Structure 1
Amino acid sequence: MNILIVGGCGFLGSNLAEKFHKEGHTIHIIDDRPDAEKTKFTFKTHIMQCSANDEKCKAFFELYNFDVVVYAVCAPDGAYQQNFSGLVNILELSYKYKLKKIIVLTDTPDSMMVKCHNEYKFFCQQQEVYCKNWADEFQLPVTLIKLANIYGPKMTISNYQSVIPKLFKSSSFAEGKQPAEDLLKYRPQNYIYVNDMAEAVNKAILVDKLPFILTLENVTKVTAVALQKMVTAIVKGDKYTQGADDFIPADKDAATSCENILNWQPRYSLPEGLRMTWKWYQSLQQSSPPQKIIANTKKVLTGFLPYIENIILFAITAFISIRIDTSNNFESMAGLDCSQIYILIMGLVYNKKQSIIAAFLSMLLFLVQLRLNGVDPISVFYDMTYTVHLIAYLSMAVITGYITDNHNFQLQSLTDKLRRINDKQKFLKKSYDETLRLKNKFYKQIINSRDSIGWLYNSINKLYSIESEKIYSAAIDVITELMETDNAVIAVVNKTTAGNDVFLRLKIKKGKKVAALPVSVKVSEHEYLDKVVNKKETFVNKQFIKGAPDMAVPVIVGDKVIAVIGIYDVPFEYFSLHYEKMMRIISMMMAEALHRAQQYEKDTHDKNYVAGTDILKEKAFKQIEEILKQRGTDSYCKFKVDEVEGIALNNLRAIGQTAPYLQNAARAQDHIGITGENVYILLEELPLAMIDTIQKRFLRKNIKLSLAEN
């Protein structure tokens, strides 16, 4: 199935994604985590980094044609309304694109007690009511799976609330002391290992009809004291001994229980699951501390860096100011001094906050300077010179800070706008690349599929030529390829000179089973040929007539049958209307190609033939001979014309005089042409046993032939 997991990079979603992939499903993910696209999976998946209420979700639905949506979003504190609007958007899109199933993961009432507060309970109830309305009003296949407390690896990568991470992370608990009181205040809870949860959801998406609510719970609950004992034993490496009151039976609703409806059973006990979770925590702690320390150090330094630089710059300013000869210069520096430069720098480089701090530090420095020069600092309140100086500090701080803050605000606005544009461009490019990938995939399927129009077109496209002989050569290959047979034949229609009898003359053949076919067949002697040639019908050998082709179709140009296509040794399953129509298509395409070729040959007659005759010039004659050579060594025979009506053809001067006799003796598909100073005749599909017969037939018409090298 094509499955979309909303929140697929979180604790629940990532474990579901791995499970679905192992079951052979195609996984797509929507997640608003900043590092969503960097989430590592054991397989390749398509991740779109956006909120579930983002308009980009619509393009995702249009692009991938999902079968199932699993909504596995863990709402952080204070983000319930945003989470709800995301659910609304997903339900609307699921209805619009007619998804087969929508699974929404939520919590049982008991697990809600562990999670948060009344606001979260209200959110879960609101979510349930809204989904129920969609299911009732629009017949949307929504199922809510109410989960007990899920635990397992990757719990710390999302906002999923649980007591277990607190127990593992508590240093006092790790030392064997009593955990904090708030960890033991909960009543007995139901715990499910995350792999068991994934198995249940996987079963749910495979079931055709589900009730609106499913409950995923264990048969027993564990007390807080027992949970403490288990985690303590696992952390210390001791063996856990179960107490009599550690577990109590759980009250389960049989009508919504996954055990009854999905035939689901938990595979991992609580101690086993906690042990695997602790191993994951240990591996995480062993691999991540250096990175975490570096990241936290950078974060702290980044926050304190402006204050550190402020203090350093103030120290430099104070040193310079105090070193100045205050007795001679202090009064003269009431206008511009080092402190003003210091305030200006902090205001322009950072913001108003740092410039205000710089102003107050400068005021303090000013008062110290007054004191060092024997002036009572109280005098600043009645001596306007000093008061204005202090006000100048504060004014400069406010003005420079305001300018910098305004600039930073505008810069941040432009940065946010650029980020949104880049995100949009990135999403569009990703959509384009994925659309292009799917287009190429479907194109290959269309082109390479034997039942496709594309494959048929590519095969028949070989018939497009302006030379008749090339068309016949291509046609025999197309017929054997499309009809999946190794034996085919094309015969042209010839009439006797008197016009009374119609014959089929073998033009080209392919395959061992047609090697012994006669060169010429009289149409009137075979009823099936009469239907094909005279009535222009398709023949299918349903009566298994001996010697007849399995299927034969006429090639009709204008209103005249010019050739017949026959195929032999056709697989039994191909005796169908579909393949009969395909044979007709091939004959029509071949007829169209031959019609164009005949028109071209007519238009270029003077270029290719000796003037006033049907004798080919040397270049055109050699081209035809080359085509016949490509068909095979036994596809034609070449005769040299030695004498016509007693006239020796040692040179080309007698061609005009002898041409009518040659044209009258040759058949329509025979080729008469010039090579050097001699005249030759090419006879197609002529068995060696008939060479003497042909020579005698021409001799009766006073034309003497000798066999040339083939």
Structure 2
Amino acid sequence: MKVLITGGYGFIGSHVADRFYKEGYEVHIIDNLVTGKKENVTFKHKFYHLSIDDPKCRKVFAAYNFDIVVHLAAQASVATSMHNPTYDAQSNIVGLVQMLKFATEYKVKKFIFASSAAVYGEQSELPITEGVHTNPISPYGLSKLMGEKYCNNWAASQGLSSICFRFSNVYGPRQTHEGEGGVVSIFLNRLLTNHKLYVHGDGNQTRDFIYVEDVAFAIYRASQSTLTGIYNLSTNTEASVNDLIHHYESFHGAVETVQVASREGDIQRSVLNNARIIQDLDWAPLYTFEEGLQKTYEWGASSKPVEQAVVKEKKVVPNWYTNIKPYLENFILFFVLSVIVMSVDIPIFSVFEVGIFYIITLGAIYGNRQAFFAVCLSISLLLVDYFRQGREIVSLLYDTTFFFQISIFLFIGLVVGYSVQRKNIKIAEQQETLDDLQTRHDFLETIHEELRDVKDELQLRVLNNEDSFGKIYSITKELNEVEPEKIFTHTIEVVQKTMRCENVSIYLLNEDQTYLRLVASSYLLGEKPRTSSLKVADTRYIQQIISTKTIFANRNLLANVPEMAAPIFYDNKIKAILTINDLPFSSFSNYHENLFKVISGLIETSLNRAFEYIRLTEESRYIGQSIILQPDVFHEILNSKMLAKEKYNMPYALLKIQVDAGVLQQVAGKAHQLLRETDYIGYIEDKLFVLLSNTTKEDVSFIVNRFNNAGIETEDYHGVLV
């Protein structure tokens, strides 16, 4: 069983992760580490450094079939939501919607959403029940309320089983000094660092404090139940700030307090009714406030808190300063040069030279905008120097030297400024592309490593299984490829050995799911006819697999129907169908059906990795922007076809196309339209080749005629490709 916990490195999330791990779950965590800490989770788990609104989260859902999603990641500060409601909505609403979408697409069985008592706002009747009118007074409370509505909508329209918990003030170990219920951790830190406790108001304000392990246990219990809807998660008990101080005194000794003014907008009393969750879930809080504080205090004392130092915030440079800085530096340099030029009696041509130096310098540093500004200032300096020589402005209008110098200024400013600007734009574009590629590479590498871990773990379990299918471990190493054609060929041998059957086939499903093309099969020619393609509309068992997305077992022993068939998924769509026949009668059982499911899952993992590799390396697989494969890629695919021919007598054909280099891409494009999804076009040693999959000699003549009718000259090639 697999559980995904968003915000799993946070205060509550880490305790929820502990609970699921103790219950035997495989734990996966998504966290952006803004507030979460890796050290909060010490057991073996899978981690993805992502924000919940990042589209890459889809890859995580696609790589694993999660049974449960616990959505705790959120912007949890009321103050931040007031200051930046856009950021609050992006995290708490957009991020949630994406999690709901992926949970629905990838068939999650239970979705648990962490809401908050902040949705209630000010309420006059206590304790607060779930049925009262909600009235959030902050964007944070509003975003949590919208999150509940999204969960309810998804449950009604998409059938996603979800439950929303409105937390009261959660406290316990690992809590930071911010957020709802933070008074417990704030006071604890000040106690352990020998500071006074600041009490706002008279200290009689009450809250419904709930210990974090009670919250984690309730979430786990809910994940095992059919319960849905909205529930308060609380103790239904009021405790005041003075009560909190009194309990701390019993653990710590004398406590010095300082009374300060009440905070504006602070709610005087808050307590949530938990009767519904106790009755419906058969859950109750196990820890009293005193017991929870005792455990929290012991954790705090052992973790050696440090004094809350005044953190110097990094000064943010205002935008206006960033924009005006180049102009200031430009003007300062101009002023310095002007003083030097005007203070020394030198020929006028020297002023011209200084102007050129000044324009080139500013253009090289900042680009065309500052270069043009430097040109204007240089012209003004030139004019001043002319006037100082006793020239009049009218005489300058007829002075060709003056206009020549201005023209040189403009020319140099434009050339230098434009060149530098173009270079800067090019560098910025390349850096952006490099950053994007690096991000994609890092994420793909993470997913690849996780898939390898999962496969290795599954293989180890099978290896140690009493029923001794440990040989799968050595066999499945053959699936460690990144070229789909190689995996298709190796799949046949893997399935034959593990299922103890002779006849195995794998078909690719086209994009509109109307036809399947045979890509590998162990049927020997002459023994049983190969069906090179299947029409979905005429094949009932294929229709059943597509509609149910599950394994088909021919329990009624229908004629001309495989005994078992399994869908292979990619990007949440059926990409291929794996079929087996001629199973021993003793192997036609639920056990072997489950074994077939495990094997098809391993094959699906390998193919997904291969398809993802091809997608990410697509630009390097083809020549330019064409559909013509690079020689090394084409060779690799051809070798796979040769291996399939040698092992399973899978026929293929290689045609050479007569074509001039000038119309290479046009001819290749025309040929591509006549081919199937399983055929390939490559260019080797100045020759254009077509590799036809699953093609007999009889098929070749028909295909050659099709090419000739389209004006493409071809010949059956029997040479050797070097």
**Looking at CA atoms only, which structure, 1 or 2, has the larger radius of gyration?**
1
TM-score (norm 1): 0.47
Which structure has more relative contact order (CA 8 Å, sep 6+)? It is: 2
